[in-house]
Structure 1
């Protein structure tokens, strides 16, 4: 599947963003005011003020992210040594790293840091980073992102021969292709006594596990990181002005729940909220 084939889904993700609808609402109010439709302009502006106020003070995104992040246990029991460590892409800041010839991480950079931690906890275990870049415009700054993450892993002290790169996957549904090729190349077959460790953001783990299970990749232990919610937090501690953070979590929650629904309908997962194989 080419990058152009993925373009519709990327455009749909823009339409699902609350900040896009905020911009569209402001544009509508401006147009209504210019047309002299003051009642419509006022109604739209009042609606936007109410929406921004609610998002700013009420962490709705946390409520929607919580069941995703709690689906798999954090710090799972690893009594058996894993046969491999797999970290999904998304933690790298692709364009900034390329522009500055540096190694920068995104807001999901915990994925990479946690993979480094596990690699040092289980030395000698092969580590796979799987993640390509959606690059429909042939942006040169988006090339070689997977290799750059490989450099980050090696710079942390992981031997180069234990670092492996899979640059096929640009979506969650494409990760099994990278992982299957890696397992075949290494001659590995995860088992109950030697499972494969999967690292990704906690909110993304249900969809990732569902995709792997549906693809027939068994004996996988979910090892979530990059948490965005605070379990057990008192409501009075969460009601405060935090518009940027609340909006970011709301957008993450909408994207992930819509992604789960779309993946189930497309057959990439066998449940709306997967809980393992």
Structure 2
């Protein structure tokens, strides 16, 4: 129940949702002065949230900075968080990637370079699956086709969120004898905007990891006429990602996950 309430709260405070609610109420009560002010407020908020420079700058300051491949030592295990495929897309004879494919492709590159000796993928079916093939299994199939040795691949197929990614990963590592006295060196691989929450969850569950952020949304901020004036639908998308992540952090703190 708490999960669905958090999703509802997240939906209601999304910038686009707020703008729609304001303009809707403003039109309903347009004959009243405060109704017209709501319409004006919606217009001004739309200008703010569609400003590509502002959206990019906020995302740029939020995302964990990238790390060069050659700056990394060798790690026993690279841990890849899922959420990077169209998990409900059929047929299941291939992997349908979305924006976050860097999580897997960069993990593959690290493996090929010898920076990680093994790869663990964590992620299950989600909350309303249309097929019983987990995302970890789908990504595992891709990595096998790409040349990863089957013995170097670990799959955790039950997690439905970031907290469970950390919790179930620890259990799997305990089963494999990779924690405790013989603990493995771990490299956490996930999207840059998501790294703060993910790392906190792993620390909370007793797994100390180094981090390798991937899947960047922001570029180096450049203020020019186009970025300052031209409205951008992509800017709304960036704010959507940020607000969703901030709500996720708030909910995780309330639940004691981080």
Q: State the TM-score, normalizing by the size of structure 1.
A: 0.80
Deviation at 1:29, TM superposition (A): 3.3
Pairwise CA RMSD of aligned residues? Answer: 2.8
Distance 2:168 2:100 in 1: 20
State the secondary structure of the residue aligned to 2:48.
helix
The count of residues paired between Structure 1 and Structure 2 equals 256
Distance 2:251 2:148 in 1: 37
Q: Which residue of 2 aligns with 1:252?
A: 241
Considering fraction of residues, name the structure with more strand. Answer: 2
Q: What is the aligned counterpart of 2:123 among 120, 123, 131? A: 131
Q: Which residue of 1 aligns with 2:202?
A: 212
Q: Is the 8 A contact 1:176 1:211 kept in 2?
A: yes
Q: Which runs of 5+ in 2 are unaligned?
A: none
Q: Which residue of 1 aligns with 2:25?
A: 28
Q: Which residue of 2 aligns with 1:221?
A: 210
Q: Which residue of 2 aligns with 1:272?
A: none
- Cα gap change, 1:68/1:190 in structure 2, threshold over 3 Å: closer, same or farther? farther
Q: Is the 8 A contact 1:87 1:111 kept in 2?
A: yes
- Cα gap change, 1:124/1:66 in structure 2, threshold over 3 Å: closer, same or farther? closer
Distance 1:192 1:250 in 2: 42
Residue 55 of structure 2 is aligned to residue 61 of structure 1? yes
Q: What is the aligned counterpart of 1:7 among 4, 10, 22? A: 4
Q: Which residue of 2 aligns with 1:165?
A: 155
Q: Which runs of 5+ in 1 are unaligned?
A: 270-277
Alignment of 1:1-277 (within 5 A): 6-33=3-30, 37=31, 39-70=33-64, 73-75=66-68, 77-79=71-73, 81-96=74-89, 98=90, 101-122=93-114, 125-135=117-127, 138-141=128-131, 143-189=133-179, 195-218=185-208, 220-231=209-220, 233-236=221-224, 238-269=227-258
Q: State the TM-score, normalizing by the size of structure 2.
A: 0.85
